[in-house]
Chains A and B, each alone.
Chain A
């Protein structure tokens, strides 16, 4: 049996250890992460309603930005519903030391959006959902909420300073959900140009070091 051949050890995933206490500046730093922690810890419905008010319209906008294969008019409302139910159900596993609520909810939304589009355009049974690609081992080095908020603020500030064409390409990739190949066809640019433009944008934001530094 393949299963027994490959699995040499069998251990369950360690239960996640979350930060129980946050200092004052951390508490102020990111209200969405705080609300999400409350939903996870005490099933706080008021906190959930606040998250819904903030993220609902953003999620719907995120759905409307992607008119790809499989897109359908009701996608916006469906995505809001599916993502927010997942947020409620998975909130107990949310670890503020790994990602802010905004980033965490983005990853849930991105996976949901792809899976919904795929289900619509694909008749084949798909054994893996996009969600399955994001089960990462626990990080050894926690990042405080404050640090995360700072790095998100930096990302936001540097996004605002990107030249137009770099900003445009990042939006195509992340918001419209276009692959590099699709973006290249749509913009009438060689694939290599799209690839280097995306990399340039992220280098400019100092999110990646020079080209393929690790190779």
Chain B
């Protein structure tokens, strides 16, 4: 298990995650990062303690007299066994595993370009396209700007751009104005989880050749 990553979600994202107010697509990415990052897990525990202390200070509201009896009745009726997490792959974040098992739009990778494949998820929200991207070893992606937000978490392998090398667990947020050209590492394919709120914007004059990149399908 990798426990140190170099690129993390910012504090406000962790706080919103802890309070449960972060939107679904961003939550999927933060939870994937947490799987790899022990320092953010430790931070989250401290933030959760704030939530728990605030809940303890909430104005208590009396429950009905039969509330406990009703709960015991349901428990005894026995149909409440916690569902077992089937087939948990310890190397992948739980939420990603579950999406792969239940929510792939297609069962197979789709080609975006000669070096990038995509697999999209249905996540029940309308703001982000959530997908896996696979860059082949040494694969180049087009240089691009961003029209909206792009969250990326490296799940396997590594890639680099002009600024740095990103390894398993690293969390990236790209915004309009951030121009980069990701490249897959030479020593193996790289798989990333990503959430995009708008299509990327190619910076090359031949950008019109990148048709498959220019549309997103939030779902």
Contact = CB atoms under 8 A, between A and B. Distances in A.
B51 A110 contact: yes
Contacts of A5: 109, 134
Contact of A174 (B55, B68, B92): B55
B180 interface: no
A202 B19 CA distance: 13
B119 interface: yes
Given A6-B191, A130-B27, A106 B16 contact: no
Contacts of A102: 52-53, 55-56
Contact of A179 (B21, B34, B55, B156): B21
Contact of B63 (A77, A140, A152): A77
B20 A111 contact: yes
A45 B30 CA distance: 37
A202 B47 contact: yes
Contacts of A85: 71, 74-75, 80
Interface in A161-209: 170-171, 173-175, 177-180, 182, 195, 198-199, 202, 205, 207-208
A172 B1 CA distance: 36
Interface stretch (B83-91, B140-148, B194-202, B204-212): B83-91
B59 to A, nearest CB: 5
A164 to B, nearest CB: 15
A125 interface: yes
Size category of the A interface is 35 or more
**Most chain-A CB neighbours within 10 Å: which of B28, B60, B70, B134?**
B60
Nearest to A61: B58
Which 6 residue pairs are nearest across A and B when measured between Cβ atoms? A135-B94, A106-B52, A57-B60, A61-B58, A133-B31, A126-B124
15 contacts: A10-B87, A11-B89, A11-B91, A58-B58, A63-B61, A77-B64, A85-B74, A85-B75, A102-B52, A107-B48, A110-B19, A113-B20, A135-B85, A137-B35, A215-B10
Interface of B: 1, 3, 8, 10-12, 15-24, 27-28, 30-31, 34-35, 38-39, 41, 43, 45-64, 67-68, 70-72, 74-75, 80-82, 85, 87-95, 98-104, 107-109, 119, 121-125, 132, 134, 155-156, 191
